[in-house]
Amino acid sequence: MTSVARTRGELAEARAEWAAQGASVAVVMTMGALHAGHGELIRRAREMDDRVIVTDFLNPLQFAPGEDLDKYPRTFAADLELCRAEGVDLLFAPGPTEVYPGGDPAVRVAAGPVGDILEGESRPGHFDGVLTVVAKMLHLTDPHRAYFGQKDAQQLWLIAQMVRALDFGVEIVEVPTVRDADGLALSSRNSYLTEGDRRSALALHEALDAGEKVAESGGVAVVTAACHVLAEASVPADYVELVDPSTFEPLTTDGGSAILLVAARVGSTRLIDNVRLTVGPSER
Ligand code: AMP
């Protein structure tokens, strides 16, 4: 049975009951418009923890003026269905005034330098908005573990840093990206895509694949191969970058673990994807 909490009070009541039971608590944070990627996070949470909270909050703080806040898909009834099917205990779906009673907060979490590159360069202030709401939701839900998708690799890295830097007592669990059968990473924004857009959107995954295939030849070859696929598909890239997974800085050596990240525009929709790989000659 999935209960719905709209207020902090209702959430706190459930949370206190579970604390009294000594139950371990998981949180999966979402902006609604749930899909099988969110479902996978929930399933992982279900496996590892006694109680699962899903938060469903379209956070205005992480959208810049002119971004897609107003047209972002809102599918609450279907979200609740998915939560019921996946055995979620509590769906916390507050409105903006419940989360930000004083309006947009002047005090926010600062993401730091990694918040200004890649996604942050295209979306100024985005990660401060993300970290601020994640910090608040961690306080409100007080979980033992919080589950996030590798699909949003930069976000995941920044959340892990925040949790460490600010001593949140929560374990962050990373969940691999869930894809459609043809490779397209699931995203709530895929609902914006026309049939033609959807075919073009496959270029993101194909670009990552092409990069991965030449990983042994080094970083330059990886980025060149990925860019080539996007150019051939006439999908304009915002960025194609290899970063060091531990610092999220551009990869400076020509070998080792890396994340290949891509952001591109398909029609009017901006999509992101990434893959983890090892660059340079494999050790034999
Ligand atoms: P969102 O509702 O898009 O903000 O995403 C909520 C959470 O679901 C984040 O931790 C995302 O990284 C994760 N997520 C979104 N899409 C996927 C996917 N295709 N596979 C795995 N996790 C995902």
Q: Is 140 in the pocket of ligand 1 (CB under 6 A)?
A: no
Q: Is 178 in the pocket of ligand 1 (CB under 6 A)?
A: yes
Which pLDDT score, from 0 to 100, does residue 143 have?
98
Which pLDDT score, from 0 to 100, does residue 282 have?
77
Please give the chain's pLDDT, 284 residues, in tens.
999 999 999 999 999 999 999 999 999 999 999 999 999 999 999 999 999 999 999 999 999 999 999 999 999 999 999 999 999 999 999 999 999 999 999 999 999 999 999 999 999 999 999 999 999 999 999 999 999 999 999 999 999 999 999 999 999 999 999 999 999 999 999 999 999 999 999 999 999 999 999 999 999 999 999 999 999 999 999 999 999 999 999 998 778 999 999 999 999 999 999 999 999 987 65
Q: Is 25 in the pocket of ligand 1 (CB under 6 A)?
A: no
Which pLDDT score, from 0 to 100, does residue 283 have?
65
Residue partners of 2: CB distance under 8 A and separation at least 6 = 80, 83, 84, 87, 88, 89, 90, 91
User: Does 38 participate in catalysis according to the annotation?
Assistant: yes
pTM greater than the 0.85 cutoff: yes
Cα of 20 vs centre of ligand 1, distance in Å, is: 31
Q: Is 40 in the pocket of ligand 1 (CB under 6 A)?
A: yes
Strand pairing partners for 129? none
The active-site residue out of 35, 38, 126, 205 is: 38
Which pLDDT score, from 0 to 100, does residue 284 have?
56
